[in-house]
Amino acid sequence: MKAFILDAYKKKSALRFGNIPEPSVGADDVLVEIHATGLNQLDTKLRDGEFKLILPYKPPFVLGHDVAGVVVRTGANVRRFEVGDEVYARPRDGRIGTFAQFIAIDEADVARKPKNLTMEEAASIPLVGLTAWQVLVDRAKLENGQKVLIHAGSGGVGTFAIQLAKHLGATVATTASAANADLVRSLGADVVIDYRARQFERELSGYEVALNSLDATTLEKSLKTLKPGGKLISISGPPDSAFARERGLNWVLRQVIWLLSLGIRRKAAARQVDYSFLFMRASGEQLSRIAALIEDGTIRPIIDRVFPFEATNEALAYVDSGRAKGKVVVKVK
């Protein structure tokens, strides 16, 4: 089958377009013919080698974390899916590879595609949808009437998280450029801070939750927006000790991660705020719940551009540019 292959970690390097064997199908797997794949900053960071310590893939391997397609084969133990089912998924770590024509995925990570979405729209959802769900529902336990700050509101996670937070009944503040203000307001943002002209940490206070996807400076400034007992949740780092334990990292890496997060943890504790790092996990069950919200119109996908399969490297370069509103998608079939 055709695939885009990472031969070596290198910043902003091009992937090699070539042929690799079709994946084998385990007893608990479904083989999915990929119709579309979503691109994420996680893909570019993996390509650049930023996650080598915690996600030790050995090149050559195929990148890609989002998929929408059709089941073409099922393993002996599979009961939830049949050949011909239209599905979407974020394959679990260690089994990624959606920049290809086929992928084998554990059925626990797969859900039926929302009926009202195209394959391209469905492929834009899994990673950002699961990230937003696990931050706001699982970790923050966001409740009706609470206030949440969501950074980078026009990005992939931001566009989804704003809609989910409004569904949960929260008041939503977000940072975005002036050019994207109308977009994030249309998604439900109540307060929009132009990060180029205003200082969000001077205008916002008394928030219960802040979701950070930006740099360390923004992370630290976000502490000032939270009330005592608030939760600062970062998806861009630094990782914390709980994450190291969950990943089963060795003692040396656990110590390194403990030191990396020491500064922000101390500053959060001084303000009586809980800091945590979240690295999303695959979940077909959660994707099924997300599909229901999409089918009833609560959440809609936001796609910036759709590239053809042969232009996957150009699509990654566009993600690198940081200009995308919502998601960038590659149409594979």
pLDDT digits (tens, 9 = 90+) for 270-295: 999 999 999 999 999 999 999 999 99
Place of tokens 């551009």: 305
- pTM > 0.95: yes
| Segment 161-183 mean pLDDT | 98
Task: Give the model confidence (pLDDT) of 239-268 as tens digits.
Answer: 999 999 988 889 999 999 999 999 999 999
CA-based R_g, the chain, Å: 19
Pick left, alpha or beta for residue 192 (phi over 0 → left; psi -120 to 50 → alpha; otherwise beta).
beta
Q: What's residue 56's pLDDT? A: 86
CA of residue 301 relative to chain centroid, distance: 13
Read off the pLDDT of each residue in 157-174 and give the average, rounded to a whole number. 98
Q: Could you give phi then psi for residue 175, rounded to 5 degrees? A: -105, 135
Q: Examine the pLDDT at 61 and tell me if it is beyond 90.
A: yes
C-alpha to C-alpha distance for 72 and 69, rounded to whole angstroms: 9
CA distance 294 to 220: 34
Rounded to whole angstroms, the Cα distance separating 87 from 157 reads 21
SS3 5: strand
User: What's the whole-number mean pLDDT along residues 196-207?
Assistant: 97
Which stretch of DSSP H or E encloses residue 162? helix 156-167
Cβ atoms of 101 and 34 within 8 Å: the answer is yes
Mean pLDDT over residues 175-179, rounded? 97
Residue 52 has pLDDT above 90, yes or no: no
Query: Domains of the chain by range and CATH?
Result: 2-124+301-331 (3.90.180.10), 128-277 (3.40.50.720)
* CA 111 from centroid of its chain's CA atoms: 16
Would the pLDDT of 311 be above 90?
A: yes
pLDDT over 90 at 332, yes or no: yes
List, as one string, the DSSP characters of 213-278.
-S-HHHHHHHGGGEEEEEEEEESSS---HHHHHHHT--HHHHHHHHHHTHHHHHHHHHTT-EEEE-
Q: What is the mean pLDDT of residues 287-316?
A: 98
DSSP category for residue 13: P
What are the strands, taking DSSP E only, across the chain? 2-6, 16-19, 29-39, 61-62, 67-74, 86-89, 102-106, 110-112, 147-150, 171-176, 191-194, 207-212, 226-234, 274-277, 303-308, 327-331
Average pLDDT over residues 291-302: 98
